[in-house]
Chain A
Amino acid sequence: MSNHIHPIASLLAAVGRGISGVQVQWAGCEPDERQRIYFANHTSHLDFVVLWSALPSEIRAKTRPIAAKDYWEATAVRRYLAQNVFHAVFLERGSPAKSKTPDEPHFAGRHLIDEMAAALGTEHSLILFPEGTRGTGEKVGPFRSGLYHLAERRPDVELVPAYLENLNRILPKGEFLPVPMLSLLTFGKPLRIAPEEDKDVFLERARDAVSSLRRIGSS
């Protein structure tokens, strides 16, 4: 994995910023080169590009997205974009029901956590959408457990919540052409997993951390 930014990635980042007119606010922390997992709500294909483009370029070069294997490997273009352009980490997404049950030592998702931990390595950061799929933008859906297991595995990595606002109106699920409205991106205060914290409690806390960053229509 090189830390080189693909020119198409830079181009797409510029286009994404232009279309989304995004206004970025670092409300709970500052941009930093330390290892982080940025986790955000997911409503649009633009989410990743907009979040990624909001990072300073030296951080951007070391930040990789987590991509659902079934979707992003489905066509040659998607695979090229995910793999070669954005150096995505491919993961198979299980059904949410499946990932809710296992606390036994060898649960099915263990190798996924291994892969994400390996992708973090010693210098990389990850962008994760813990809902696992794009929602309608009204509410943040329940989080899958990957974030929890990863946080347990790598307690040294900061967990930074982020809220992407209005992107569901710019490019909603199922649409191909964007409407250039304005959007907001807010980074919140980094979370840490408490010792012995219950999985569901932590995931709910993480979800609240994301949805509390909403700026329009919250007050």
Chain B
Amino acid sequence: MSEFLHDAKLDWLFGGVLFLLVILSIIGNSKKGPRRAEGSRGTIANLNDWVPAWWKMCAIFTLAVLLGRIGALVLFGIISFLAMREYMTLVPTHRGDHRTLFWSFFVIMPLQYYLIGMQWYLLFATMIPVLACVYIPPSIAIAGDTEQFLERASKIQFGIMVCVYSLSHVPALLQLKIPGFHGHDARLLLYLGIVDQMNNVLQFVWDKLIGKTKIAWRVSPSKTWEGAFAGVVCATAIGTALWWVTPFTPFQSAGMSLMICILGFNGNLVMSAVKRDIGIKDFGVVVEGRGGILDRIDSLCFAAPIFFHLVRYYFNFVV
């Protein structure tokens, strides 16, 4: 059973999240009229798209906390698997990539989570970046297909970096040994998740309300500088206000939140560009009902490794 139960601050944080979700669900349901055309839907109607996903994420985080360290690793391993499955399905790969892909799915991915589980920091922090360079290109080359060789190697490298390497730093937070914070690591996980999601939704809302100057309309037509700025400021404020669940001082918490928000924004932008490149709007579009995981975790994937390393560098004093 989990080490993380009986943590009053975690209960408060969790209670707060659930309370917010219930309120949002009630508001959402009361405003649910007949579905209008895409363009004429209001901000609240659009928020209705977020709430079910938040319930699911909340359930996943709850499960991760209840299952403890190993359970969380398995859970995030499954999410990595589903995300990479979605990515590789939509990114064109060749016949010659088959064995490399097999190894990526069934050897590299489980190994990464295993290394985190055995707390071999040096290896889990370096294995995939190094393998991406010294293993993936030669294993594609050995299949003998030179057509678009560099593109194919890069696509696989990028997929495994985002879906496996980056995401695996979320459960790795539970392995940190922060003095005076032992047994409370689950709060860091939740903190990261809350700031990240608040950042996403607040940017979205501010884009709708005050957005004027488009950032890169080709990549993401709705993103504006005003919305991004206001969203980051608000989400950072929320993160700062949550300092009491973290080992940070309010000032440090503000810095961490700001970093999570900016990286989350980068993640959104990059994955939007990837989607444009492939020629789809959402990762969930082509494979309805099964997809959309990457759409939800793109910002988290970019924020998680840096957040992990900052926390480890500044707060994790046990070698």
- Residue positions of A touching B, CB distance < 8 A: 21, 23, 136, 166, 169, 172, 175, 177-182, 184, 215-216
Whether the Cβ atoms of A182 and B102 lie closer than 8 Å is no
Whether the Cβ atoms of A23 and B98 lie closer than 8 Å is no
A169: which of B81, B93, B99, B286 is its contact (CB, 8 Å)?
B93
- Using Cβ atoms and an 8 Å threshold, which residues of chain B touch A172? 95, 98
Whether the Cβ atoms of B85 and A21 lie closer than 8 Å is yes
B286: which of A136, A178, A179, A215 is its contact (CB, 8 Å)?
A215
Assess whether B53 is interfacial by the CB under 8 Å rule. Answer: no
Interchain nearest-CB distance for A214 vs B (Å) = 12
A181: which of B85, B106, B288 is its contact (CB, 8 Å)?
B85
Whether the Cβ atoms of A216 and B286 lie closer than 8 Å is yes
Say which size band chain B's interface belongs to.
10 to 19
Interchain nearest-CB distance for A208 vs B (Å) = 23
Q: Tell me the complex Cα distance, A163–B105, Å.
A: 26
Assess whether B287 is interfacial by the CB under 8 Å rule. Answer: yes
Q: Tell me the complex Cα distance, A67–B272, Å.
A: 45
Q: Tell me the complex Cα distance, A169–B290, Å.
A: 18
Q: Tell me the complex Cα distance, A166–B101, Å.
A: 14
A182 and B95 in contact (CB under 8 A), knowing A23-B287, A177-B102? no
Whether the Cβ atoms of B288 and A180 lie closer than 8 Å is no
Whether the Cβ atoms of B289 and A175 lie closer than 8 Å is no
CB-CB contacts below 8 Å: B76-113 with A: 81, 85-86, 88-89, 93, 95, 98-99, 101-102, 105-106
A23: which of B85, B95, B288 is its contact (CB, 8 Å)?
B288
A181 and B89 in contact (CB under 8 A), knowing A23-B288, A215-B286? yes
Interchain nearest-CB distance for B208 vs A (Å) = 29
Q: Tell me the complex Cα distance, A177–B107, Å.
A: 13
Q: Tell me the complex Cα distance, A136–B102, Å.
A: 19
The interface centre, meaning the residue of B98, B106, B289 with most chain A CB atoms within 10 A of its CB, is B98
Q: Tell me the complex Cα distance, A215–B95, Å.
A: 20
Whether the Cβ atoms of A175 and B98 lie closer than 8 Å is yes
CB-CB contacts below 8 Å: B26-53 with A: none
- Residue positions of B touching A, CB distance < 8 A: 81, 85-86, 88-89, 93, 95, 98-99, 101-102, 105-106, 286-291
- Using Cβ atoms and an 8 Å threshold, which residues of chain A touch B86? 182
Q: Tell me the complex Cα distance, A83–B178, Å.
A: 62
Q: Tell me the complex Cα distance, A192–B201, Å.
A: 52
A166 and B98 in contact (CB under 8 A), knowing A179-B105, A182-B287, A184-B287? no
A-B contact count (CB 8 A): 39
Interchain nearest-CB distance for A21 vs B (Å) = 6
Q: Tell me the complex Cα distance, A5–B286, Å.
A: 33
- Using Cβ atoms and an 8 Å threshold, which residues of chain B touch A181? 85, 88-89
Interchain nearest-CB distance for A169 vs B (Å) = 7
The interface centre, meaning the residue of A136, A169, A216 with most chain B CB atoms within 10 A of its CB, is A169
Whether the Cβ atoms of B290 and A21 lie closer than 8 Å is yes
Query: Closest residue of chain B to A25, judged by CB?
Result: B288
- Using Cβ atoms and an 8 Å threshold, which residues of chain B touch A215? 286
Query: Closest residue of chain A to B81, judged by CB?
Result: A180
Interchain nearest-CB distance for B285 vs A (Å) = 10
Q: Tell me the complex Cα distance, A138–B99, Å.
A: 20
Interchain nearest-CB distance for A135 vs B (Å) = 12
- Cβ contacts A to B, 16 pairs, < 8 Å: A23-B287, A23-B288, A136-B95, A169-B93, A175-B98, A178-B102, A179-B88, A179-B102, A179-B105, A180-B81, A180-B105, A181-B88, A181-B89, A182-B287, A182-B291, A184-B287
What 9 additional pairs, Cβ within 8 angstroms, besides A136-B95, A166-B89, A179-B88? A21-B287, A23-B288, A169-B98, A177-B106, A178-B102, A179-B102, A180-B85, A182-B86, A184-B287
Whether the Cβ atoms of A182 and B85 lie closer than 8 Å is yes
Q: Tell me the complex Cα distance, A175–B89, Å.
A: 18
Q: Tell me the complex Cα distance, A175–B101, Å.
A: 12
- Using Cβ atoms and an 8 Å threshold, which residues of chain A touch B89? 166, 181-182
A23 and B88 in contact (CB under 8 A), knowing A179-B98, A179-B105? no
- Using Cβ atoms and an 8 Å threshold, which residues of chain A touch B81? 180
Q: Tell me the complex Cα distance, A180–B88, Å.
A: 9
The interface centre, meaning the residue of A136, A177, A182 with most chain B CB atoms within 10 A of its CB, is A182
Interchain nearest-CB distance for B276 vs A (Å) = 16
Interchain nearest-CB distance for B145 vs A (Å) = 12
Query: Closest residue of chain A to B92, judged by CB?
Result: A217
